[in-house]
Amino acid sequence: MTARACPERVLIVIPTLNEAAHIETVIRTLLQDAPADTRLVVADGGSTDGTPALVQRMDDPRIHFLENPRRIQSAALNLAVATQGQGATHLLRADAHALYPRGFLAALLDDMRRTGAAAVSVGMTTLGDSGFCEGVAAAQNSRLGTGGAAHRTGGGGRFIDHGHHALIRMDVFRAIGGYDAGQSHNEDAEFDHRLTGYGGRIWLSGRTGIGYYPRQTPKALFLQYVRFGAGRAETVLKHGLRPRLRQVLPLATVPAVALAAIALVPAVLAPAWGWFALMAPALLWAAICLCYGAVLAVGAGRAAVAWAGPAAMLMHLGWAIGFLWRYAQRFTRRRAPLRHTAGCDQ
């Protein structure tokens, strides 16, 4: 007798913080093709813009609201699994700040069945329709801003080491302890490192993907990448990893900017060759970014895309500052030793 396959039951978790502008659209899109027994949990980290009220007014028994007192996404996902994941065979991690296509969940489930993967990742395209946001989108969709990350450069339909999180087998999620609930950024890459070490494989879907809405101001973009860099350093330090070349190159921006700042001190202005030597690294970096942005703008036929150059500079410098600051915290012992993982209640 052939054993019947276990029915697929999906738990969709959307961590939120002030996402009133997007949350209803995201929920409706994800549920429109989902099986009837799908459960969707919005885990909110203390929104003040009306997000909780919007979710709680939606008339669908599949939708559940959960308060996330620890505020960060990793803790939200672990809490949702622990309290709402009973009977679920798959976890779909969704972003409130994203645009999902029709049939998204069905495509991921089919990819997982066909490949036997423990997780299915998706490509991400940044969406920006005007001004600075259009430049940020161009930068984040190019190698200038991503360094060639698999989920950013296309080429789906293959196994990868890490990608933007989407569908995860629940048994594997529980087996490796869920996310590190103490890590606020880069928790997905840290999770993937443990997943592949456990023997799980990650499939990058070539059939579907998501759109992402970027930060709208230079300050917000810069601070986001400071946190990204610090999160990556946390993962590197925790597991003794060697950063990849695309992660090492931005680190050169910090000494380049520091030398340029020294060159602006009045006592350094003479002789001229000394001033130029100090400014040269920063000038070269700026020239590369600005020219790259100009080329993207010409190719797109839109002047606003030229903001890609300044946006990329903010991304590089923010990421580098966050990464190096986290290293400095570790080696100056200003922070307690890193834990391996906070785990997931089961």
d(CA 144, CA 250): 10
Count: domains in the chain: 2
pLDDT in tens, 51-79: 999 999 998 999 999 999 999 999 999 99
Residues in the chain: 346
Residue 310 belongs to what domain range? 238-331
Give first-to-last CA distance, the chain, whole Å.
32
User: What is the overall mean pLDDT for the chain?
Assistant: 89
Are residues 245 and 160 part of one domain? no
Is residue 203 included in any domain, yes or no?
Answer: yes
Is residue 209 included in any domain, yes or no?
Answer: yes
- CA-to-CA dists, residue 190 to 8, 93, 170, 340, angstroms: 26, 15, 17, 10
Among 7-21, 38-52, 229-243, 263-277, name the one with the lowest average pLDDT. 263-277
pLDDT in tens, 16-54: 999 999 999 999 999 988 888 899 999 999 999 999 999
pLDDT in tens, 292-310: 999 999 999 999 999 999 9
Is residue 230 included in any domain, yes or no?
Answer: no
d(CA 150, CA 134): 22
Query: Residue 28: which of 6, 59, 53 has the closest Cα?
Result: 59
Could you give the 3-state DSSP secondary structure of residue 10? Answer: strand
d(CA 111, CA 115): 6
pLDDT at 177 over 70: yes
Are residues 280 and 168 part of one domain? no
| Whole-prediction pTM | 0.88
pLDDT at 11 over 50: yes
Six-digit token string for 272? 């001229």
DSSP alpha helices (H): ranges in the chain? 23-31, 51-57, 73-84, 104-115, 131-140, 143-146, 170-175, 187-198, 218-239, 245-248, 253-263, 272-300, 308-331
Is residue 221 included in any domain, yes or no?
Answer: no
Are residues 75 and 35 part of one domain? yes
314, 225 Cβ separation under 8 angstroms: yes
